[in-house]
Amino acid sequence: MKLERTAYDIAKETYQKYGVDTDRAISELKKISISLQCWQGDDITGFLNQNAAGGGIQVTGNYPGKARNATELRNDLTFALSLIPGKHKVNLHAIYAETDGSVALDQLGVNHFTNWVDWAKKRGVGLDFNPTCFGHPMVKDGLTLSSPDETTRKFWIHHCQNARRIGEAFGKALNQKSVVNLWIPDGSKDFPVDVLAPRQRLKDSLDQIFAEPLDARYLLDTVEPKLFGIGLEGYTAGSSEFYLGYAVKNQIGFCLDSGHFHPTEDISDKISSVLLYVPELLLHVSRPMRWDSDHVVMLDDELFRIAEKLVRNQLLERTHLGLDYFDASINRVSAWVVGARNLQKALLKALLEPHDFLKKMENEGNLTARLAITEELKSLPFGLVYDHFCQTEGVPAQASWLENLTEYETKCLLERK
């Protein structure tokens, strides 16, 4: 008796004609972990300071159902992860510590994240971490680690030192590397006369923060540049050149955020250059709309290019992928799901390329074949392969996950007042 062919069977046969094994591509995709940003779930409110946003950060929208406490936020993340195939991570900011309200930001330790670690262990989820260097009274005149005030600098140095220890503890507890990413808003609304002194102070602060040797098996230090922020349009102490130079010199990780450059810049082309000189890379995948506006990631040309550069050049093992956006104009859980699934689709499409053949054509100077094949690949049914991946992982395929989301919204999110 002849069995009926499935949509995946057809897709598999189609790709076999190009020498591509779809099962292998799925297997490779399953290994790739995406770090979901916790701050999407509550508009960067956190639990230490209810007005944490600032330093050029803005969240717009008032969609109902925002998480009001850590339990609700973890429930929302659990539900979001149930709609994303594979095993992933959650990225925490320091302000998501659970305390009795008496612990200062610079006094946080891993014991203030016990519930997060227990939750992550239970679900096989990794945890990344960030010091929260914004939205705090100790941000003086928009400055933290580059401040001319020694007391201010010491406060933030101590906070960042503790953040590294927390990240290492996460890594040990969960037996997977925790990425601790350092970003500060420090800058100026207009053009300063002295642009060197703030960067000298920032360099000295970083030297103190990274002086303590911690276990690289469980911790990756990364530094993140930014072009500008609201109210900080004229100058940014932690520019791309500053942090790239620091990362190369000290052989720590470098963060590329797809919203932190000029609108005409393409970060996908920076990946291979940066990884020639730093050991590991953190990619914050966002969608800028005219500026660093942190829109939910779409399956657009830039996302495809980012995935292609990682896969074609075999750079995935040295790259950590995380989402970084915050949209309160739509269901916040849906924002995680849409962004993560889109990133997975882009990676899968890249994994479904006949890389060896394309490189062979390129090396032989057969640019006609290279162009023709890469163009044909664009219309092949990679979506059917992703649907099969979802089904094998027990996750709803295509847009059927929206039915699950609607039920969760009705039963849980809309009950929050």
Catalytic residue set = 183, 224, 226, 257, 260, 284, 292, 294, 324
264: tokens are 């005409």
8 A C-beta contact, residue 118 and residue 74: no
Rounded Cα–Cα distance for residues 97 and 78 (Å): 18
Rounded Cα–Cα distance for residues 229 and 360 (Å): 44
Q: Determine the Cα angle at 184 with ends 137 and 228, to 5°.
A: 110
Rounded Cα–Cα distance for residues 299 and 328 (Å): 20
Residue 297's closest CA among 270, 336, 267? Answer: 336
Q: Which residues contact 274 (CB under 8 A, 6 or more apart)?
A: 244, 254, 256, 281
Give the three-state DSSP class for 320: strand
Can you spell out the DSSP letters for 91-153? EEEGGG----S---GGG--GGGGHHHHHHHHHHT-EEEEE---SSSTT-BTTBSTT-S-HHHH
Cα-Cα-Cα-Cα dihedral sign, residues 171, 174, 176, 182? negative
Rounded Cα–Cα distance for residues 227 and 297 (Å): 20
Quote the DSSP letter at residue 400: G
Residue 170's closest CA among 245, 120, 206? Answer: 120
Which residues, listed in sequence order, are joined to residue 285 by a DSSP beta bridge?
A: 323
Residue 84's closest CA among 297, 350, 310? Answer: 297
Rounded Cα–Cα distance for residues 284 and 282 (Å): 6
